[in-house]
């Protein structure tokens, strides 16, 4: 039997509050990781500068290439794993709080929380996001592997810059400038990766919970402003079936990923599970007509 307007408004308001809290936790986690990552890179840069101060120079300050010293610098930098491992650990702790929030909400609306909702269980959490790899050969396909790869690429880049400078192929002023550019650029990359993957994992948890509750439709919600992508502009307010969502292509992360990635990188939108039972017949018909229009527009792009 359909909910009345007051009951539906209450349920949707509750879900909206949960999602707003979820977004705030994801944002706080991304900010913390970006800060910690920049601190780790800054510490690495400090080590680089101390290392290169020991390089030989001519009387006018030019570097004298010394391959023996170069070979001692790059491996030293490449072995610096500890700061990034700490960044990863901080993020996993914050993710645990996010999943606990979702588990509490899942229990409040009924149905069993399910194993994947045990955010307080670190072993279950690590099984979902992956363990931090010990070496490059151990890198897996989870977020831990992706983040490890990002840090590995960054350390390689810093080592390459140091090597070029030590061999006299990169002037000191250019070396300092490029190091500073790397610090800013890679911090932003880390933030995007953590932000998107945190929300992506939360969206997967919502989908699992919706399946457990027998909810087969999703309402697309979020802002409609000057920076909203056309993909999201077309979908906001529409209610789609899980199958229809699976057929969407946001143009960034590939076909079939819209349930988790929504509109793509740094997307601010989300899917809220719903059901025809939540609406009267006229309202449901209107929502589905909106979905048909959105899907038609999507197909014509």
**Contact indicator for 290, 238 with CB cutoff of 8 Å:** yes
In this predicted structure, the answer to whether residue 114 has a pLDDT above a threshold of 80 is: no
Sequence spans of domains, the chain: 5-214, 216-301
Cα–Cα distance, 253 to 264 (Å, whole number):
6
Write down the pLDDT at residue 247: 92
Cα–Cα distance, 88 to 26 (Å, whole number):
14
As separate numbers, helices (DSSP H) first and strands (DSSP E) second, the chain gives 10, 3
For 276-298, what is each residue's pLDDT tens digit?
888 888 989 988 998 998 888 87
Residue 262 pLDDT class (50, 70, 90 cuts): very high
CA 146 to centroid of chain Cα atoms: 10
Element (H, E) at 98: helix 82-108
- pTM here? 0.69
**Rg of the chain in Å (alpha carbons):** 24
In this predicted structure, the answer to whether residue 109 has a pLDDT above a threshold of 70 is: no
Write down the pLDDT at residue 118: 42
Lowest mean pLDDT among 3-7, 9-13, 65-69, 162-166: 65-69
Write down the pLDDT at residue 78: 58
**Complete edge-to-edge strand list for the sheet that includes strand 239-241:** 239-241, 217-221, 270-274
Lowest mean pLDDT among 166-170, 200-204, 240-244: 166-170
What percentage of the chain carries pLDDT values higher than 90? 11
For 214-224, what is each residue's pLDDT tens digit?
888 999 988 88
**Contact indicator for 158, 77 with CB cutoff of 8 Å:** yes
Residue 116 pLDDT class (50, 70, 90 cuts): very low
Give Cβ neighbours of residue 201 (< 8 Å, ≥ 6 apart): 95, 99, 128, 129, 143
What percentage of the chain carries pLDDT values higher than 70? 74
């Amino acid at each position: 039997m359909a909910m009345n307007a007051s009951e539906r408004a209450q349920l949707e308001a509750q879900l909206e509050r949960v999602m707003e809290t979820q977004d705030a936790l994801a944002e706080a986690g991304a900010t913390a990781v970006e800060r910690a990552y920049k601190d780790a890179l800054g510490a690495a840069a400090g080590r680089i500068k101390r290392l290169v101060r020991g390089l030989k120079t001519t009387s006018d300050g030019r570097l004298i290439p010394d391959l023996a010293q170069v070979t001692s610098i790059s491996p030293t930098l490449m072995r610096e794993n500890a700061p990034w491992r700490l960044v990863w650990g901080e993020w996993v702790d914050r993710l645990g709080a996010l999943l606990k929030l979702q588990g509490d909400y899942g229990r409040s609306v009924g149905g069993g929380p399910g194993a994947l909702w045990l955010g307080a269980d670190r072993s279950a959490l690590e099984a979902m996001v992956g363990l931090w790899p010990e070496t490059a050969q151990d890198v897996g396909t989870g977020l831990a592997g992706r983040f490890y790869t990002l840090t590995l690429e960054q350390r390689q880049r810093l080592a390459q810059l140091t090597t070029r400078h030590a061999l006299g192929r990169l002037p000191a002023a250019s070396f300092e400038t490029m190091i500073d550019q790397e610090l800013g650029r890679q911090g932003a990359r880390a933030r995007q990766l953590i932000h998107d993957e945190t929300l992506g994992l939360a969206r997967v948890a919502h989908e699992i919970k919706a399946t457990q509750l027998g909810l087969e439709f999703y309402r697309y919600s979020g802002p409609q402003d000057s920076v909203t992508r056309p993909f999201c502009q077309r979908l906001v307010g529409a209610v789609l079936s899980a199958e229809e969502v699976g057929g969407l292509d946001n143009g960034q992360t590939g076909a079939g990923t819209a349930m988790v990635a929504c509109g793509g990188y740094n997307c601010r939108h989300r899917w809220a599970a719903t059901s025809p039972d939540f609406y009267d017949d006229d309202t449901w018909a209107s929502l589905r007509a909106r979905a048909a229009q959105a899907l038609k527009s999507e197909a014509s792009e």
